[in-house]
Structure 1
Amino acid sequence: MRAASSTVYPVYLSLHRHPNSHQASFRPSRANHDNTHKCTKPPKVLRRSLFSLPASFLLLHTSSSLAVDDANMPSTSTIDTTITDRIFMDFSVCPSYFRSDRPLGAELSSCPDSEPLGRVVFGLYGRLLPVTTANFKATCTAAAYRGTLVHKLLQGQFFAAGRQGPRHDKGEVQPPSGLVRNSETVNPKAFELRHARPGTLSLCLGQNDDDDDIKLNPNYHNLEFLVTTGPGPCPELDGQNIVFGTVLEGMDVITSIATIPTYKPAERIRLFNGFAQLIGDGRAQTARAMWDRPLKTVYISDCGELTVTKPSLSPPSLP
Protein backbone atom coordinates (compact mmCIF):
# COMPACT_ATOMS: atom_id res chain seq x y z
CA MET A 1 0.00 0.00 0.00
CA ARG A 2 1.30 3.46 -0.98
CA ALA A 3 1.41 5.92 1.86
CA ALA A 4 -1.19 8.69 1.63
CA SER A 5 0.02 12.09 0.58
CA SER A 6 0.58 14.57 3.36
CA THR A 7 -1.30 17.23 1.40
CA VAL A 8 -4.95 17.58 2.49
CA TYR A 9 -7.22 18.35 -0.42
CA PRO A 10 -10.67 19.92 -0.18
CA VAL A 11 -13.58 17.65 0.48
CA TYR A 12 -15.14 18.20 -2.89
CA LEU A 13 -12.21 16.35 -4.53
CA SER A 14 -13.31 13.15 -2.84
CA LEU A 15 -16.78 13.59 -4.29
CA HIS A 16 -15.62 13.99 -7.91
CA ARG A 17 -12.99 11.33 -8.12
CA HIS A 18 -12.76 8.77 -10.89
CA PRO A 19 -15.71 6.35 -10.74
CA ASN A 20 -13.34 3.41 -10.43
CA SER A 21 -11.91 4.80 -7.21
CA HIS A 22 -15.17 3.95 -5.40
CA GLN A 23 -14.45 0.26 -5.35
CA ALA A 24 -17.01 -0.48 -2.67
CA SER A 25 -19.88 0.94 -4.74
CA PHE A 26 -18.75 0.54 -8.34
CA ARG A 27 -16.69 -2.63 -8.85
CA PRO A 28 -15.03 -2.50 -12.32
CA SER A 29 -15.04 -5.42 -14.72
CA ARG A 30 -11.96 -7.64 -15.14
CA ALA A 31 -11.31 -6.23 -18.60
CA ASN A 32 -11.14 -2.69 -17.40
CA HIS A 33 -9.26 -3.54 -14.25
CA ASP A 34 -5.86 -3.28 -15.92
CA ASN A 35 -6.72 0.07 -17.44
CA THR A 36 -7.56 1.56 -14.09
CA HIS A 37 -3.95 1.08 -12.98
CA LYS A 38 -2.73 2.95 -16.02
CA CYS A 39 -4.73 6.07 -15.09
CA THR A 40 -3.19 8.61 -12.79
CA LYS A 41 -4.70 8.10 -9.36
CA PRO A 42 -5.74 11.19 -7.48
CA PRO A 43 -4.11 11.50 -4.08
CA LYS A 44 -6.03 9.93 -1.26
CA VAL A 45 -7.74 12.23 1.21
CA LEU A 46 -7.21 11.39 4.83
CA ARG A 47 -10.45 10.16 6.32
CA ARG A 48 -10.07 12.30 9.40
CA SER A 49 -10.06 15.43 7.20
CA LEU A 50 -13.63 14.68 6.25
CA PHE A 51 -14.58 15.30 9.87
CA SER A 52 -12.15 18.03 10.82
CA LEU A 53 -13.10 20.35 7.98
CA PRO A 54 -16.86 20.41 8.55
CA ALA A 55 -16.32 20.81 12.31
CA SER A 56 -13.98 23.77 11.84
CA PHE A 57 -16.36 25.32 9.33
CA LEU A 58 -19.26 24.94 11.75
CA LEU A 59 -17.24 26.50 14.57
CA LEU A 60 -16.26 29.44 12.39
CA HIS A 61 -19.84 29.94 11.22
CA THR A 62 -21.19 29.79 14.78
CA SER A 63 -18.69 32.27 16.18
CA SER A 64 -19.35 34.73 13.37
CA SER A 65 -23.13 34.51 13.87
CA LEU A 66 -22.72 35.09 17.60
CA ALA A 67 -20.63 38.15 16.88
CA VAL A 68 -23.40 39.52 14.70
CA ASP A 69 -26.01 38.90 17.40
CA ASP A 70 -23.90 40.64 20.03
CA ALA A 71 -23.47 43.61 17.73
CA ASN A 72 -27.24 43.92 17.35
CA MET A 73 -27.88 43.76 21.10
CA PRO A 74 -28.45 47.20 22.65
CA SER A 75 -25.70 48.18 25.05
CA THR A 76 -26.95 49.61 28.32
CA SER A 77 -23.67 51.49 28.73
CA THR A 78 -24.65 53.80 25.86
CA ILE A 79 -28.06 54.65 27.37
CA ASP A 80 -28.24 58.02 29.09
CA THR A 81 -29.44 57.24 32.62
CA THR A 82 -28.55 60.63 34.05
CA ILE A 83 -30.85 61.47 36.95
CA THR A 84 -32.56 64.79 36.33
CA ASP A 85 -35.25 64.75 39.06
CA ARG A 86 -35.72 63.33 42.54
CA ILE A 87 -39.15 62.34 43.85
CA PHE A 88 -39.94 61.23 47.38
CA MET A 89 -42.73 58.96 48.59
CA ASP A 90 -43.63 58.26 52.20
CA PHE A 91 -45.13 54.81 52.77
CA SER A 92 -47.33 53.98 55.76
CA VAL A 93 -49.69 51.30 57.07
CA CYS A 94 -53.30 51.99 58.08
CA PRO A 95 -54.41 49.32 60.63
CA SER A 96 -57.99 50.62 60.81
CA TYR A 97 -58.69 50.42 57.08
CA PHE A 98 -60.79 47.24 57.36
CA ARG A 99 -62.43 48.06 60.68
CA SER A 100 -66.21 48.16 60.75
CA ASP A 101 -66.29 51.55 62.50
CA ARG A 102 -64.23 53.21 59.78
CA PRO A 103 -66.14 56.24 58.41
CA LEU A 104 -67.75 55.62 55.04
CA GLY A 105 -65.77 57.24 52.25
CA ALA A 106 -62.79 58.13 54.44
CA GLU A 107 -59.60 58.40 52.40
CA LEU A 108 -56.38 56.67 53.29
CA SER A 109 -54.52 59.97 53.45
CA SER A 110 -56.52 60.81 56.57
CA CYS A 111 -55.93 57.51 58.38
CA PRO A 112 -56.14 58.28 62.14
CA ASP A 113 -53.75 55.54 63.31
CA SER A 114 -51.19 55.60 60.51
CA GLU A 115 -47.93 53.71 61.09
CA PRO A 116 -45.12 55.18 58.96
CA LEU A 117 -42.75 52.78 57.23
CA GLY A 118 -40.32 55.37 55.91
CA ARG A 119 -39.41 57.56 52.95
CA VAL A 120 -38.20 56.39 49.53
CA VAL A 121 -36.37 58.75 47.17
CA PHE A 122 -36.54 57.94 43.46
CA GLY A 123 -34.18 59.25 40.81
CA LEU A 124 -35.79 59.74 37.37
CA TYR A 125 -34.14 59.35 33.96
CA GLY A 126 -35.45 62.59 32.48
CA ARG A 127 -33.11 62.71 29.50
CA LEU A 128 -33.92 59.18 28.39
CA LEU A 129 -37.70 59.27 28.97
CA PRO A 130 -38.86 62.89 29.23
CA VAL A 131 -42.60 62.27 28.82
CA THR A 132 -42.85 59.39 31.31
CA THR A 133 -40.72 61.31 33.79
CA ALA A 134 -42.72 64.53 33.39
CA ASN A 135 -46.08 62.79 33.94
CA PHE A 136 -44.83 60.93 37.00
CA LYS A 137 -43.30 64.09 38.43
CA ALA A 138 -46.48 66.12 37.80
CA THR A 139 -48.61 63.45 39.49
CA CYS A 140 -46.38 63.51 42.56
CA THR A 141 -46.16 67.31 42.84
CA ALA A 142 -49.96 67.52 42.51
CA ALA A 143 -50.23 65.04 45.43
CA ALA A 144 -52.39 62.76 43.28
CA TYR A 145 -50.51 59.71 44.55
CA ARG A 146 -51.24 60.68 48.16
CA GLY A 147 -53.55 58.07 49.69
CA THR A 148 -52.82 55.56 46.90
CA LEU A 149 -52.91 51.92 47.90
CA VAL A 150 -50.14 49.41 47.25
CA HIS A 151 -52.57 46.95 45.66
CA LYS A 152 -50.24 44.18 44.48
CA LEU A 153 -47.17 42.52 45.97
CA LEU A 154 -45.34 39.59 44.42
CA GLN A 155 -42.84 38.53 47.03
CA GLY A 156 -39.33 38.28 45.67
CA GLN A 157 -40.26 40.32 42.58
CA PHE A 158 -42.07 43.68 42.84
CA PHE A 159 -44.95 45.67 44.27
CA ALA A 160 -47.35 47.92 42.31
CA ALA A 161 -49.24 51.09 43.23
CA GLY A 162 -51.14 53.86 41.49
CA ARG A 163 -54.14 51.97 40.16
CA GLN A 164 -56.39 54.48 38.39
CA GLY A 165 -60.02 54.95 39.37
CA PRO A 166 -62.56 57.37 40.86
CA ARG A 167 -62.58 55.91 44.40
CA HIS A 168 -60.11 57.72 46.64
CA ASP A 169 -61.47 55.77 49.60
CA LYS A 170 -60.37 52.58 47.81
CA GLY A 171 -56.85 53.88 47.33
CA GLU A 172 -57.26 54.65 43.64
CA VAL A 173 -55.66 57.61 41.89
CA GLN A 174 -57.08 60.19 39.50
CA PRO A 175 -54.72 61.81 36.98
CA PRO A 176 -54.18 65.53 37.50
CA SER A 177 -54.84 68.01 34.75
CA GLY A 178 -52.05 68.96 32.39
CA LEU A 179 -50.68 65.50 31.66
CA VAL A 180 -49.65 64.84 28.06
CA ARG A 181 -50.28 61.67 26.11
CA ASN A 182 -47.38 59.31 26.63
CA SER A 183 -46.07 58.43 23.18
CA GLU A 184 -43.11 56.59 24.71
CA THR A 185 -45.31 53.59 25.49
CA VAL A 186 -45.17 52.64 21.79
CA ASN A 187 -41.50 53.50 21.28
CA PRO A 188 -39.26 50.38 21.23
CA LYS A 189 -36.30 52.39 22.54
CA ALA A 190 -38.20 53.06 25.77
CA PHE A 191 -37.99 49.36 26.69
CA GLU A 192 -34.20 48.95 26.42
CA LEU A 193 -33.50 49.23 30.16
CA ARG A 194 -33.97 46.04 32.14
CA HIS A 195 -35.23 45.18 35.60
CA ALA A 196 -31.78 43.96 36.56
CA ARG A 197 -31.60 44.92 40.24
CA PRO A 198 -33.77 45.72 43.27
CA GLY A 199 -35.13 49.24 43.46
CA THR A 200 -35.96 49.61 39.77
CA LEU A 201 -38.82 52.05 39.12
CA SER A 202 -40.96 51.08 36.14
CA LEU A 203 -44.18 52.21 34.46
CA CYS A 204 -46.72 49.36 34.46
CA LEU A 205 -47.83 48.29 31.01
CA GLY A 206 -47.78 44.51 30.90
CA GLN A 207 -48.70 44.24 34.59
CA ASN A 208 -51.25 47.07 34.53
CA ASP A 209 -54.36 46.43 36.66
CA ASP A 210 -56.58 49.30 35.48
CA ASP A 211 -60.07 48.29 34.40
CA ASP A 212 -60.71 47.92 30.68
CA ASP A 213 -63.39 50.62 30.61
CA ILE A 214 -60.91 53.09 32.11
CA LYS A 215 -58.25 52.19 29.56
CA LEU A 216 -60.71 52.83 26.71
CA ASN A 217 -61.24 56.40 27.85
CA PRO A 218 -59.71 58.82 25.31
CA ASN A 219 -58.23 60.85 28.17
CA TYR A 220 -56.65 57.82 29.84
CA HIS A 221 -53.18 58.31 31.33
CA ASN A 222 -51.27 55.34 32.64
CA LEU A 223 -50.11 56.22 36.17
CA GLU A 224 -49.60 52.76 37.69
CA PHE A 225 -45.98 52.00 38.56
CA LEU A 226 -44.01 49.15 40.08
CA VAL A 227 -40.83 48.87 42.11
CA THR A 228 -38.71 45.72 42.09
CA THR A 229 -37.97 44.40 45.57
CA GLY A 230 -35.26 41.84 44.88
CA PRO A 231 -33.29 39.97 45.89
CA GLY A 232 -32.61 39.17 42.24
CA PRO A 233 -33.50 40.58 38.83
CA CYS A 234 -36.94 40.29 37.21
CA PRO A 235 -36.33 39.37 33.55
CA GLU A 236 -40.02 38.51 33.11
CA LEU A 237 -40.76 42.25 33.33
CA ASP A 238 -38.30 43.22 30.59
CA GLY A 239 -39.81 44.40 27.34
CA GLN A 240 -43.24 44.83 28.94
CA ASN A 241 -42.74 47.83 31.23
CA ILE A 242 -40.78 51.08 30.90
CA VAL A 243 -37.92 51.51 33.35
CA PHE A 244 -37.62 55.24 34.05
CA GLY A 245 -35.96 55.53 37.46
CA THR A 246 -34.31 53.89 40.43
CA VAL A 247 -34.30 54.03 44.22
CA LEU A 248 -31.69 56.44 45.59
CA GLU A 249 -32.62 56.25 49.28
CA GLY A 250 -34.92 54.08 51.36
CA MET A 251 -34.18 50.62 50.02
CA ASP A 252 -34.83 49.34 53.54
CA VAL A 253 -38.42 50.59 53.21
CA ILE A 254 -38.80 48.66 49.96
CA THR A 255 -37.47 45.54 51.69
CA SER A 256 -39.87 45.92 54.62
CA ILE A 257 -42.83 46.21 52.23
CA ALA A 258 -41.66 43.07 50.43
CA THR A 259 -41.84 41.03 53.64
CA ILE A 260 -45.55 41.73 54.22
CA PRO A 261 -47.65 38.54 53.70
CA THR A 262 -50.14 38.53 50.84
CA TYR A 263 -53.43 36.85 50.02
CA LYS A 264 -52.93 33.53 48.27
CA PRO A 265 -56.08 31.76 47.01
CA ALA A 266 -56.36 28.01 47.25
CA GLU A 267 -55.78 25.87 44.19
CA ARG A 268 -59.49 25.05 43.97
CA ILE A 269 -60.34 28.76 43.82
CA ARG A 270 -57.74 29.33 41.12
CA LEU A 271 -59.18 26.54 38.98
CA PHE A 272 -62.71 27.82 39.43
CA ASN A 273 -61.60 31.34 38.54
CA GLY A 274 -59.88 30.08 35.40
CA PHE A 275 -63.06 28.30 34.32
CA ALA A 276 -65.12 31.44 34.99
CA GLN A 277 -62.73 33.48 32.88
CA LEU A 278 -62.95 30.90 30.10
CA ILE A 279 -66.73 31.19 29.86
CA GLY A 280 -66.55 34.99 29.97
CA ASP A 281 -67.70 35.66 33.52
CA GLY A 282 -66.65 39.22 34.39
CA ARG A 283 -66.53 38.41 38.09
CA ALA A 284 -63.37 36.37 37.50
CA GLN A 285 -61.30 39.46 36.79
CA THR A 286 -62.72 41.23 39.84
CA ALA A 287 -61.82 38.27 42.02
CA ARG A 288 -58.27 38.10 40.63
CA ALA A 289 -57.75 41.72 41.67
CA MET A 290 -57.63 40.48 45.27
CA TRP A 291 -54.84 38.01 44.57
CA ASP A 292 -51.35 38.93 45.79
CA ARG A 293 -52.77 41.86 47.76
CA PRO A 294 -50.84 42.68 50.96
CA LEU A 295 -52.65 41.64 54.11
CA LYS A 296 -51.64 45.00 55.59
CA THR A 297 -52.96 48.25 54.13
CA VAL A 298 -49.80 49.84 52.73
CA TYR A 299 -50.34 53.21 51.10
CA ILE A 300 -48.51 56.38 50.01
CA SER A 301 -49.05 58.88 52.82
CA ASP A 302 -47.17 61.73 51.14
CA CYS A 303 -45.24 62.49 47.96
CA GLY A 304 -43.51 65.36 46.21
CA GLU A 305 -40.34 66.62 44.57
CA LEU A 306 -36.96 67.16 46.16
CA THR A 307 -35.20 70.16 44.67
CA VAL A 308 -31.42 70.00 44.31
CA THR A 309 -28.85 72.67 43.53
CA LYS A 310 -27.48 70.65 40.60
CA PRO A 311 -30.30 69.48 38.32
CA SER A 312 -28.32 66.74 36.53
CA LEU A 313 -26.95 64.12 38.89
CA SER A 314 -24.66 61.21 38.17
CA PRO A 315 -26.18 57.74 37.89
CA PRO A 316 -26.25 55.90 41.23
CA SER A 317 -23.87 53.04 41.93
CA LEU A 318 -26.23 50.63 43.60
CA PRO A 319 -25.28 46.96 43.91
Structure 2
Amino acid sequence: MSQSDVYSIGKIGQKWGAEERLAWRNLQSVKRSYQDDVVSNILPLKAHFEVEQYGALSYDVEKYPLFVVKSRDWDSNKPTVLVSGGVHGYETSGVHGALRFLETKALGYSDKFNLVVAPCVSPWGYETINRWNPNAVDPNRSFYTDSPAEESAGLMAMVASLGQSLDKSLDESSAQRLMAHIDLHETTDTDNSEFRPALAARDAVVHDNWNIPDGFYLVGDSENPVDEFQTAIIKAVEKVTHIAPPDEDGKLIGVPFSQKGVINYATKALSLCTGFSDARYNTTTEVYPDSPHSNDENCILAQVEAITSGLDFIIQDRGL
Protein backbone atom coordinates (compact mmCIF):
# COMPACT_ATOMS: atom_id res chain seq x y z
CA MET A 1 0.00 0.00 0.00
CA SER A 2 1.42 3.37 -0.97
CA GLN A 3 1.32 6.47 1.17
CA SER A 4 -1.06 8.12 -1.29
CA ASP A 5 -3.51 5.26 -0.73
CA VAL A 6 -3.89 6.11 2.94
CA TYR A 7 -3.58 9.90 3.18
CA SER A 8 -4.23 12.84 0.91
CA ILE A 9 -1.39 15.14 1.97
CA GLY A 10 2.27 14.78 1.03
CA LYS A 11 4.38 12.87 -1.47
CA ILE A 12 5.37 9.24 -1.21
CA GLY A 13 8.68 8.84 0.57
CA GLN A 14 8.95 12.50 1.61
CA LYS A 15 8.41 13.83 5.12
CA TRP A 16 6.09 16.77 5.48
CA GLY A 17 7.51 20.25 5.35
CA ALA A 18 5.90 23.56 6.23
CA GLU A 19 3.64 23.45 3.16
CA GLU A 20 2.19 20.05 4.00
CA ARG A 21 1.71 20.93 7.67
CA LEU A 22 -0.17 24.09 6.67
CA ALA A 23 -2.30 22.08 4.23
CA TRP A 24 -3.16 19.69 7.06
CA ARG A 25 -4.04 22.53 9.41
CA ASN A 26 -6.28 24.11 6.79
CA LEU A 27 -8.32 20.91 6.66
CA GLN A 28 -9.18 21.14 10.37
CA SER A 29 -12.31 22.82 11.68
CA VAL A 30 -13.85 23.60 15.03
CA LYS A 31 -16.36 20.93 16.02
CA ARG A 32 -17.05 21.78 19.65
CA SER A 33 -16.37 24.60 22.11
CA TYR A 34 -13.56 24.56 24.66
CA GLN A 35 -15.05 27.62 26.33
CA ASP A 36 -18.53 26.13 26.62
CA ASP A 37 -17.58 22.54 27.42
CA VAL A 38 -14.49 22.99 29.57
CA VAL A 39 -13.80 26.53 30.79
CA SER A 40 -17.41 26.99 31.89
CA ASN A 41 -16.98 23.93 34.13
CA ILE A 42 -13.57 24.92 35.45
CA LEU A 43 -14.44 28.42 36.69
CA PRO A 44 -17.14 27.31 39.20
CA LEU A 45 -14.50 25.14 40.89
CA LYS A 46 -13.13 28.35 42.43
CA ALA A 47 -15.66 27.78 45.20
CA HIS A 48 -13.50 24.98 46.62
CA PHE A 49 -10.13 25.08 44.82
CA GLU A 50 -7.49 27.44 43.57
CA VAL A 51 -8.07 27.93 39.85
CA GLU A 52 -5.15 29.50 38.03
CA GLN A 53 -4.38 30.29 34.43
CA TYR A 54 -0.87 29.04 33.73
CA GLY A 55 -0.67 30.19 30.14
CA ALA A 56 -2.51 30.45 26.84
CA LEU A 57 -1.92 28.92 23.44
CA SER A 58 -0.44 31.37 20.95
CA TYR A 59 -2.83 30.17 18.24
CA ASP A 60 -5.50 32.28 19.99
CA VAL A 61 -4.62 33.50 23.49
CA GLU A 62 -8.17 34.66 24.21
CA LYS A 63 -9.82 31.49 23.05
CA TYR A 64 -7.35 28.99 24.51
CA PRO A 65 -6.35 29.89 28.08
CA LEU A 66 -4.72 27.04 30.00
CA PHE A 67 -6.02 26.30 33.49
CA VAL A 68 -4.83 24.30 36.47
CA VAL A 69 -6.98 23.49 39.48
CA LYS A 70 -5.12 23.06 42.78
CA SER A 71 -5.86 22.26 46.39
CA ARG A 72 -6.75 25.38 48.30
CA ASP A 73 -4.89 24.50 51.53
CA TRP A 74 -1.49 23.73 50.03
CA ASP A 75 0.79 22.01 52.53
CA SER A 76 4.42 21.28 51.69
CA ASN A 77 4.29 18.34 54.09
CA LYS A 78 1.68 16.58 51.98
CA PRO A 79 2.58 14.56 48.87
CA THR A 80 1.62 16.18 45.57
CA VAL A 81 -0.39 14.40 42.88
CA LEU A 82 -0.70 15.54 39.26
CA VAL A 83 -3.70 14.58 37.11
CA SER A 84 -3.58 15.59 33.45
CA GLY A 85 -6.31 15.32 30.85
CA GLY A 86 -6.68 16.31 27.22
CA VAL A 87 -3.01 16.01 26.30
CA HIS A 88 -4.56 14.58 23.17
CA GLY A 89 -7.47 16.95 22.82
CA TYR A 90 -9.69 14.52 20.95
CA GLU A 91 -9.77 12.09 23.88
CA THR A 92 -12.97 13.39 25.41
CA SER A 93 -13.26 11.37 28.61
CA GLY A 94 -9.77 12.40 29.67
CA VAL A 95 -10.93 16.01 29.85
CA HIS A 96 -14.32 15.31 31.36
CA GLY A 97 -13.01 12.60 33.68
CA ALA A 98 -10.61 15.12 35.21
CA LEU A 99 -13.47 17.61 35.61
CA ARG A 100 -15.80 15.01 37.11
CA PHE A 101 -13.12 14.00 39.61
CA LEU A 102 -12.79 17.63 40.70
CA GLU A 103 -16.55 18.08 40.91
CA THR A 104 -17.32 14.92 42.86
CA LYS A 105 -14.30 13.29 44.52
CA ALA A 106 -11.30 15.57 44.84
CA LEU A 107 -12.26 17.30 48.09
CA GLY A 108 -12.33 13.93 49.81
CA TYR A 109 -8.59 13.59 49.20
CA SER A 110 -7.56 17.11 50.15
CA ASP A 111 -6.53 16.06 53.64
CA LYS A 112 -4.01 13.57 52.22
CA PHE A 113 -2.66 15.21 49.06
CA ASN A 114 -1.88 18.45 47.33
CA LEU A 115 -3.89 17.97 44.14
CA VAL A 116 -2.85 19.52 40.84
CA VAL A 117 -5.29 18.91 37.97
CA ALA A 118 -4.83 20.19 34.41
CA PRO A 119 -8.14 19.15 32.79
CA CYS A 120 -7.38 20.10 29.19
CA VAL A 121 -3.75 20.47 28.16
CA SER A 122 -4.58 20.81 24.44
CA PRO A 123 -7.70 22.96 23.98
CA TRP A 124 -7.18 23.48 20.23
CA GLY A 125 -7.06 19.70 19.87
CA TYR A 126 -10.21 19.46 21.97
CA GLU A 127 -12.13 21.83 19.72
CA THR A 128 -10.99 20.32 16.44
CA ILE A 129 -11.00 16.72 17.80
CA ASN A 130 -7.33 16.17 17.05
CA ARG A 131 -4.41 14.23 18.44
CA TRP A 132 -1.94 16.83 17.13
CA ASN A 133 -1.62 20.56 17.68
CA PRO A 134 -2.01 23.01 14.74
CA ASN A 135 1.60 22.46 13.72
CA ALA A 136 1.01 18.72 13.26
CA VAL A 137 3.03 18.01 16.41
CA ASP A 138 1.91 15.39 18.92
CA PRO A 139 2.04 16.91 22.42
CA ASN A 140 2.30 13.43 23.95
CA ARG A 141 5.60 12.84 22.19
CA SER A 142 6.95 16.27 23.12
CA PHE A 143 7.60 16.33 26.87
CA TYR A 144 11.26 17.31 26.81
CA THR A 145 13.44 20.40 27.12
CA ASP A 146 12.83 22.95 24.36
CA SER A 147 9.64 21.14 23.40
CA PRO A 148 8.19 21.93 19.95
CA ALA A 149 4.69 21.75 21.47
CA GLU A 150 3.69 24.72 23.58
CA GLU A 151 1.01 22.55 25.19
CA SER A 152 3.71 20.25 26.60
CA ALA A 153 6.08 23.06 27.48
CA GLY A 154 3.32 24.87 29.34
CA LEU A 155 2.44 21.88 31.50
CA MET A 156 6.08 21.19 32.37
CA ALA A 157 6.66 24.83 33.30
CA MET A 158 3.54 24.87 35.46
CA VAL A 159 4.68 21.80 37.40
CA ALA A 160 8.15 23.25 37.86
CA SER A 161 6.60 26.46 39.20
CA LEU A 162 5.04 24.46 42.03
CA GLY A 163 8.50 23.78 43.38
CA GLN A 164 8.21 20.17 42.28
CA SER A 165 11.52 18.90 41.02
CA LEU A 166 11.52 16.74 37.91
CA ASP A 167 14.69 15.06 39.15
CA LYS A 168 14.18 11.34 39.72
CA SER A 169 17.40 11.16 41.75
CA LEU A 170 15.54 12.74 44.65
CA ASP A 171 14.48 10.32 47.34
CA GLU A 172 10.93 9.16 46.66
CA SER A 173 9.83 10.51 50.04
CA SER A 174 11.05 14.03 49.24
CA ALA A 175 8.29 16.65 49.32
CA GLN A 176 9.88 18.12 46.19
CA ARG A 177 9.17 15.02 44.13
CA LEU A 178 5.73 14.34 42.72
CA MET A 179 4.17 11.39 44.48
CA ALA A 180 1.91 10.44 41.55
CA HIS A 181 0.97 11.39 38.02
CA ILE A 182 -2.15 9.99 36.38
CA ASP A 183 -2.62 10.94 32.72
CA LEU A 184 -6.08 10.36 31.24
CA HIS A 185 -6.37 9.12 27.64
CA GLU A 186 -8.54 7.19 25.19
CA THR A 187 -7.89 4.78 22.35
CA THR A 188 -10.45 5.32 19.59
CA ASP A 189 -11.32 3.88 16.19
CA THR A 190 -9.99 7.09 14.62
CA ASP A 191 -6.49 6.00 15.66
CA ASN A 192 -6.66 3.65 12.69
CA SER A 193 -8.92 5.62 10.36
CA GLU A 194 -7.20 9.01 10.73
CA PHE A 195 -4.29 9.44 13.10
CA ARG A 196 -2.00 6.58 12.17
CA PRO A 197 -2.40 7.22 8.40
CA ALA A 198 -1.64 10.90 9.02
CA LEU A 199 1.43 9.98 11.07
CA ALA A 200 2.65 7.64 8.34
CA ALA A 201 2.25 10.40 5.75
CA ARG A 202 3.86 13.08 7.91
CA ASP A 203 6.94 11.00 8.68
CA ALA A 204 7.11 9.09 5.36
CA VAL A 205 7.03 5.72 7.10
CA VAL A 206 4.75 2.70 7.04
CA HIS A 207 2.30 2.32 9.91
CA ASP A 208 0.18 -0.81 9.79
CA ASN A 209 -3.22 -0.57 11.42
CA TRP A 210 -3.45 -2.32 14.75
CA ASN A 211 -6.30 -3.93 16.58
CA ILE A 212 -8.04 -1.33 18.74
CA PRO A 213 -8.40 -2.82 22.24
CA ASP A 214 -12.03 -3.22 23.25
CA GLY A 215 -11.96 -2.00 26.82
CA PHE A 216 -9.98 -0.16 29.46
CA TYR A 217 -6.25 -0.61 29.89
CA LEU A 218 -3.25 1.12 31.45
CA VAL A 219 0.15 2.10 30.14
CA GLY A 220 2.84 1.99 32.81
CA ASP A 221 6.49 2.99 32.72
CA SER A 222 8.88 0.17 31.88
CA GLU A 223 11.53 1.83 34.07
CA ASN A 224 9.12 2.28 36.98
CA PRO A 225 6.25 -0.17 36.46
CA VAL A 226 4.78 0.01 40.02
CA ASP A 227 2.92 -3.20 39.26
CA GLU A 228 0.82 -3.29 42.42
CA PHE A 229 -0.40 0.25 41.78
CA GLN A 230 -1.52 -0.74 38.28
CA THR A 231 -3.17 -3.91 39.61
CA ALA A 232 -5.21 -1.94 42.14
CA ILE A 233 -6.51 0.41 39.45
CA ILE A 234 -7.45 -2.43 37.09
CA LYS A 235 -9.30 -4.29 39.85
CA ALA A 236 -11.27 -1.17 40.72
CA VAL A 237 -12.05 -0.08 37.18
CA GLU A 238 -13.28 -3.52 36.10
CA LYS A 239 -16.20 -2.96 38.47
CA VAL A 240 -17.13 0.04 36.33
CA THR A 241 -16.25 -1.06 32.80
CA HIS A 242 -14.68 -4.00 31.00
CA ILE A 243 -10.93 -4.49 30.76
CA ALA A 244 -9.39 -4.91 27.32
CA PRO A 245 -8.47 -8.52 26.50
CA PRO A 246 -5.29 -9.40 24.58
CA ASP A 247 -5.38 -9.71 20.81
CA GLU A 248 -4.61 -12.95 18.97
CA ASP A 249 -0.88 -12.32 19.54
CA GLY A 250 -1.35 -11.86 23.26
CA LYS A 251 -0.65 -8.13 23.01
CA LEU A 252 -2.31 -4.73 23.19
CA ILE A 253 -1.51 -2.19 20.42
CA GLY A 254 1.48 -4.34 19.52
CA VAL A 255 2.94 -4.43 23.04
CA PRO A 256 3.15 -7.53 25.29
CA PHE A 257 1.11 -7.54 28.49
CA SER A 258 2.83 -6.72 31.74
CA GLN A 259 -0.21 -8.05 33.58
CA LYS A 260 -3.95 -8.12 33.03
CA GLY A 261 -4.97 -4.86 31.38
CA VAL A 262 -1.49 -3.32 31.59
CA ILE A 263 1.32 -2.70 29.11
CA ASN A 264 4.51 -0.76 29.73
CA TYR A 265 6.24 1.85 27.60
CA ALA A 266 9.58 3.62 28.01
CA THR A 267 7.73 6.81 28.87
CA LYS A 268 10.74 9.09 29.22
CA ALA A 269 12.51 7.84 26.08
CA LEU A 270 9.27 8.37 24.13
CA SER A 271 8.76 11.84 25.71
CA LEU A 272 5.31 10.86 26.99
CA CYS A 273 3.47 12.99 29.52
CA THR A 274 3.99 10.68 32.50
CA GLY A 275 7.68 10.43 31.65
CA PHE A 276 8.54 14.08 32.35
CA SER A 277 7.20 14.12 35.89
CA ASP A 278 9.28 11.27 37.37
CA ALA A 279 6.52 10.56 39.89
CA ARG A 280 6.84 7.67 42.31
CA TYR A 281 3.54 6.26 41.01
CA ASN A 282 2.53 6.94 37.42
CA THR A 283 0.16 5.56 34.86
CA THR A 284 -1.69 6.47 31.67
CA THR A 285 -5.30 5.41 31.36
CA GLU A 286 -6.86 4.30 28.07
CA VAL A 287 -10.60 3.89 27.65
CA TYR A 288 -12.39 2.82 24.46
CA PRO A 289 -15.40 5.06 23.81
CA ASP A 290 -16.28 3.31 20.54
CA SER A 291 -16.97 -0.02 22.23
CA PRO A 292 -20.51 -1.40 21.87
CA HIS A 293 -20.23 -2.25 25.57
CA SER A 294 -19.57 1.34 26.69
CA ASN A 295 -20.80 4.92 26.36
CA ASP A 296 -19.60 8.44 27.12
CA GLU A 297 -20.74 8.40 30.74
CA ASN A 298 -19.22 5.01 31.40
CA CYS A 299 -15.88 6.23 30.03
CA ILE A 300 -15.94 9.27 32.32
CA LEU A 301 -16.76 7.09 35.33
CA ALA A 302 -13.89 4.75 34.45
CA GLN A 303 -11.48 7.69 34.41
CA VAL A 304 -12.70 8.89 37.81
CA GLU A 305 -12.40 5.38 39.23
CA ALA A 306 -8.85 5.12 37.92
CA ILE A 307 -7.87 8.31 39.74
CA THR A 308 -9.59 7.50 43.02
CA SER A 309 -8.44 3.88 43.18
CA GLY A 310 -4.90 5.01 42.45
CA LEU A 311 -5.05 7.53 45.29
CA ASP A 312 -6.61 4.95 47.63
CA PHE A 313 -3.74 2.58 46.87
CA ILE A 314 -1.14 5.25 47.63
CA ILE A 315 -2.83 6.11 50.93
CA GLN A 316 -2.62 2.47 51.96
CA ASP A 317 0.82 1.83 50.49
CA ARG A 318 2.39 4.89 52.11
CA GLY A 319 0.43 4.75 55.35
CA LEU A 320 -0.92 8.26 54.83
TM over 0.5: no
Q: Which has the higher helix share?
A: 2
User: More relative contact order in 1 or in 2 (CA 8 Å, sep 6+)?
Assistant: 1
User: Which TM class, normalised by the smaller chain length?
Assistant: under 0.3
TM-score normalized with structure 1 length: 0.27
Larger Rg: 1
TM-score normalized with structure 2 length: 0.27
